């Protein structure tokens, strides 16, 4: 599951985040898949096309966990992933979802 931050989330902080700019980031933004670009507002596209980005290290672990939790909870499908050592389980109903891992090794 791909979970990322959208420019609108950064823009909503009204300058309280350390935003950086690079030519590479601008080039990458202009080469985004058209499906992604069509789901962004003109303001978001302008922000990205200017090469703006925020380092992941800027976020506290708590904020990253909140972002991941919200992304997982609002996803359309939750898979159960199993390997030899663990299982990732999503259980939910109309009032909320719980995600857990089990590890026996």
**pLDDT tens readout for residues 3-15:** 667 888 888 888 7
With contact defined as beta carbons under 8 Å apart, do 44 and 6 qualify?
Answer: yes
pLDDT at 77 over 70: no
Q: What contacts 44, CB < 8 A, 6 or more positions away?
A: 6, 7, 8, 11
Helices within 4-104 (DSSP H only): 7-11, 23-30, 34-37, 42-49, 61-73
Mean local confidence (pLDDT), 73-100: 55
**pLDDT tens readout for residues 17-35:** 888 999 999 999 999 989 8
What's the pLDDT at 22?
A: 94
What's the pLDDT at 105?
A: 45
Domain chopping of the chain, boundaries: 1-59
């Amino acid at each position: 599951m791909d979970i990322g931050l959208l420019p609108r989330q950064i823009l909503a902080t009204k300058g309280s985040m350390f935003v950086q700019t690079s030519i590479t980031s601008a080039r990458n933004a202009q080469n985004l898949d058209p499906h992604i670009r069509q789901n962004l507002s003109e303001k978001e596209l302008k922000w990205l096309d200017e090469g703006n980005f925020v380092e992941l290290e800027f976020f506290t672990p708590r904020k990253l966990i909140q972002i991941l939790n919200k992304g997982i909870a609002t996803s359309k499908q939750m898979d159960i992933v199993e390997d030899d050592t663990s299982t990732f389980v999503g259980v939910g109903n109309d009032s909320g979802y719980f995600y857990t891992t089990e590890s026996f090794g």
